[in-house]
Chain A
Amino acid sequence: MQNTDWQDILACLNGDEDSYVKLVRRYEAEITKLVWRFSRDPAVCEELVQDVFVEAYFSLKSYRGRAPLLHWLRKIAVRVGYRYWKEQAKTRACVPLQEFDAIETEEPDTVDPAAAAQILHALLARLPAADRLVLTLMYFEQCGTKEIAARMGWSRAMVKMRALRARKKLKTIAESENLLEKLGWIR
């Protein structure tokens, strides 16, 4: 862990809120990047980022410094995002893939990253929250099963099993939506 982080944490625990502002400014970009995978609505994303840092502030006493602060913040961010998905599960409306016809391109490497992320987000949104979480962390954050298990407090075997099943479900969904035809990637 960075020495400056530890100094700011200690100052913050002693009631210096400005030190917490320093920590927030240091890590808000990284946390926003992660939380963006949970909601692509800027207003919601900003609210979730705030939730992460507020939750971290009130849990700061429990932080032992065994892992870098960013890892600890990411763990909180994943849980905040997952909770948001579970709350939204009943009212969630799926975005039909027809809306993404405009991005049709012959070469996968030339797809606009934002458009690719939007399609993947829309596809993953059709999965149950737990399956969606596992694949979101795998695809967007390149997390392994060990890291996902550690972040969520799940067993590694459970994450492996869930990833396998989630991929099958995602494949079925993508095929039913004719993803390859829509992207123009059939050869």
Chain B
Amino acid sequence: MDTLDAIEKLAQQARREQTPTFNVASRILCRIGPQEETFSFVGLELFASLSAVAASVVGYFSVGVLRSLTSPLMQFFTPLQEARLW
């Protein structure tokens, strides 16, 4: 018997195999049901919370630094007073 014939015979037998049965309907419902809601609300809320925390941290440090300056705009020009520009 040729090898490919043997494989064909195996395939003939294999096609008669009883395959297992699953009841997937309930799990599919879980996967397709609440997914849309959680994505829209939880995602948005999480993003908003992170943005608020980041803004608070940046605000806290920036106010402190701003108060330490006597004249905020002058600090940009002070180093340039000693240098000759032209």
Chain A residues at the B interface, C-beta cutoff of 8 Å: 17, 20-21, 24-25, 28-29, 32-33, 36, 42, 45-46, 49-50, 53-54, 57-58, 108-109, 111-114, 116-117, 119-120, 123, 139-140, 142, 167, 170-171, 174-175, 179-180, 183, 185-187
Contact = CB atoms under 8 A, between A and B. Distances in A.
Interface of B: 1, 3-4, 6-11, 13-25, 27-29, 31-33
A36 B7 contact: no
A108 B9 contact: yes
Contacts of B33: 17
A142 B17 CA distance: 14
Contacts of A114: 17-18
Chain A interface helix/strand/loop/mixed: helix
A24 B13 contact: no
A42 B10 contact: no
Given A21-B25, A113-B17, A113-B18, A54 B6 contact: no
Contacts, number: 109
B74 to A, nearest CB: 60
Nearest to B4: A171
Contacts of B21: 28-29, 32
Contact of A49 (B13, B14, B22): B22
